[in-house]
Amino acid sequence: MTEGNESIAGRRMFVIGGILVLLFLLLPQVANLGSYILSLLFTLFIYIVLSHSWNLLGGYAGQFNIGLAAYFGSGVLSWSLLYFAGVPPYLAMLAGGLVAVILACVIGIPTLRLKGIYFAIGTLALAEALRITVGNLFPASVHVPPSYWENYSILERYYIGFALVIITVTVVYTIVHSKLGLALKAIRDDEEAAKATGLNPAKYKILVFFISSFLVGLAGGAFSYYRGLITPVFQFTPDWTFGPLLAACIGGLGTISGPILGSIVFVILQEVFSQTIGKAHFIVTGIFFILVVLFLPKGLVQSGVPLRRFLAGLIGRE
């Protein structure tokens, strides 16, 4: 794609993005959506934040975090521990993000200095260790004080979720279109070559891992505010890594619109399947995911161009 094309596509994206933002801001004010739709949209927002944070590191920097649940779960857990201890909810969300960054230090600093899959193994190791330990230390279900349900407003959660989406997409967009973004792509494509030009790959990777974990921790806090933590272990299960990863891969790694589109597809699939085939829906989504990774490695967003070319070839025009 040439420079001109990219700026036109970028401008078009801004316009579409602006319209969408306005739509989602005004929609609940104009129409009475009901708590089911608002909850579904909130879930969608959380998935967009998680898959975009994953994409920032996995898609743009080529570092696969396969223990995303650890950062999400720690956001959820620290939010509820702090909130039930009397800390204001928004402050507790920030704290959730910070706890996630501390965890990111533990894994990121030793593993991201090394090349290869140490980072992936490390994130998985942390996620599993946390899941098992939280399962051992915390009771299966936690009592949520009745004060939590007083003045519960789903609309407030909706706007928090939406604000997080805007923050995340803006952060990712800014990073990708800055020098840092260029450095990340250079590291992803050839770490040795990037080093030779004077970049310090570890520094960039660790910085971006912190940003990504912070966003995931914030999302964990918001989710806890929405749901009220009842079973602590549940948020640490690999499902919470799998969903966002799936959404990012379906949509298209290393793109802005990919994780958003992927999250929409994923949330709809999950909603439809869990109501029709129950537990078997994990099997179907798992197979779907494997097929996407093997046969559509660029995701739905970037498959448009080759598909169009293929169709044009069929009718004999190019």
Partner 1 sequence: MAGQIIAYGIMVGVFYGLVAVGLALLFGVMRYMNIAHGSFMMIGGYISFFLFTLLRVDPFISIPVVMLAMFLLGIAVYKVLFSPLGKFPEGLRLGTSMLITFGLILVLDNVCALLWTSDPKTIATSYSGTTIEIYGIRLPLARLGVLGVTFIVIIALHLFLNRTYFGKSIRATAEDWEAASLLGINIGRTYLVASGISIALAGAAGTAVALMYSINPYGGLEWLLTAMVVLVFAGLGNIKEVFMAGLLLGIVEQTSVFFIGGEFRAVVGLVIFVLILLFRPQGLFRQ
User: What residues line the site for partner 1 (CB under 8 A)?
Assistant: 62, 64, 66, 106-107, 110-111, 114, 116-118, 120-122, 124-126, 128-129, 132-133, 136-137, 238, 242, 245-246, 249, 279-280, 282-283, 285-287, 289-290, 293-294, 297
Nearer to partner 1, 130 or 164 (CB): 130
- What does the block give as tokens for 92? 């507790």
State the nearest-atom distance from the C-beta of 242 to partner 1, in Å. 6
CB 75 within 8 A of CB 100: yes
Nearer to partner 1, 44 or 112 (CB): 112
State the nearest-atom distance from the C-beta of 285 to partner 1, in Å. 7
Nearer to partner 1, 159 or 289 (CB): 289
**CA distance linking residue 98 with residue 282, whole number of Å:** 32
Nearer to partner 1, 43 or 65 (CB): 65
State the nearest-atom distance from the C-beta of 273 to partner 1, in Å. 12
- Residue in the block written with tokens 């490390």: 122
Burial 256-273 (b: 16+ CB within 10 A, else e): bbbbbbbbbbbbebbeeb
CB 132 within 8 A of CB 237: no
Nearer to partner 1, 65 or 168 (CB): 65
Nearer to partner 1, 119 or 204 (CB): 119
CB 148 within 8 A of CB 92: no
State the nearest-atom distance from the C-beta of 233 to partner 1, in Å. 11
**CA distance linking residue 142 with residue 129, whole number of Å:** 21
- Residue in the block written with tokens 């790959």: 201
CB 220 within 8 A of CB 46: no
State the nearest-atom distance from the C-beta of 107 to partner 1, in Å. 7
Nearer to partner 1, 148 or 282 (CB): 282
**CA distance linking residue 216 with residue 218, whole number of Å:** 5
138: left (phi over 0), alpha (psi -120 to 50) or beta: beta
- What does the block give as tokens for 215? 């966003």
State the nearest-atom distance from the C-beta of 283 to partner 1, in Å. 5
State the nearest-atom distance from the C-beta of 49 to partner 1, in Å. 20
- What does the block give as tokens for 124? 């998985």
**CA distance linking residue 64 with residue 140, whole number of Å:** 30
